[in-house]
Amino acid sequence: EEKALRAKFATIGIEAGKRVILYAPTWRDNQYDKSGRYQFAMKLDLERMYRRFRDDSVLLIRGHQLVAGSVDTAMFGGFARNVSHYPDISDLYLVADVLLTDYSSVMFDFVNTGRPMLFFTHDLEAYRDDLRGFYFDFEAEAPGPLLTHTTEVVDALADLDRVTAEQTGRYDAFRERFASLEDG
């Protein structure tokens, strides 16, 4: 089934043998244009990601439906792809080797894959204290490392096996708490 999905995604530029990084951040209540439409401000340094991972990875960017149109990947060729309008995010979970997110609820679904998660939390204090906050102790219970700069994201992706091993306890506890009844 995974091979069939990878074949399907070849049409959007995923080459065989490439590691698939799914970046699925949530939207921000405080980022909007003059007409009131929500906007997406890319805080992840795509140029740095491109320079480091262009030969062995592809970055799929899944913007929240409220900001999907403002994700621009044009200058990164086959490395970065905007898959915000792909109809079923479940397919993206299945093809992804690693999830990069922030505070998005995608973590609750993706944990069922057993694959690693990284959290790009560049605005943690503002999100927690001024925007939406959390329903659980995110900082203590997130099933992966909290990374505040692109450099940390790049380093974690470059040494993903080690990072994953370090996070096993948190990951397992999160999975048990939030997805223990999900058995396929």
Query: Residue 71 has what pLDDT?
Result: 59
Q: Are 122 and 43 in contact (CB under 8 A)?
A: yes
Instruction: Kindly list the distances between the CA atom of residue 92 and the CA atoms of 38, 47, 59, 62, 95, in Å, as whole numbers in the listed order.
Output: 23, 23, 11, 9, 5
User: What is the maximal distance between C-alpha atoms in the chain?
Assistant: 46
Tell me the two tokens of residue 62.
């899944």
Query: Residue 151 has what pLDDT?
Result: 96
Backbone dihedral region of 133: left (phi > 0), alpha (psi from -120 to 50 degrees) or beta? left
Query: Residue 29 has what pLDDT?
Result: 55
Query: Residue 75 has what pLDDT?
Result: 59
Tell me the two tokens of residue 144.
């992966």
Backbone angles phi, psi at 101, to 5 degrees: -140, -170
Query: Residue 131 has what pLDDT?
Result: 61
CA angle, 109 as apex, 45 and 150 as ends, to 5°?
Answer: 15
Query: Residue 157 has what pLDDT?
Result: 98
SS3 state at 119: strand
Query: Which residue's entry shows tokens 């940390």?
Result: 152
pTM reported for the whole predicted model: 0.84
Query: Residue 66 has what pLDDT?
Result: 53
The pLDDT tens digits of the residues spanning 80-114 come to 888 888 888 888 998 899 999 988 889 999 999 99
Which regions in the chain score pLDDT beneath 50?
none
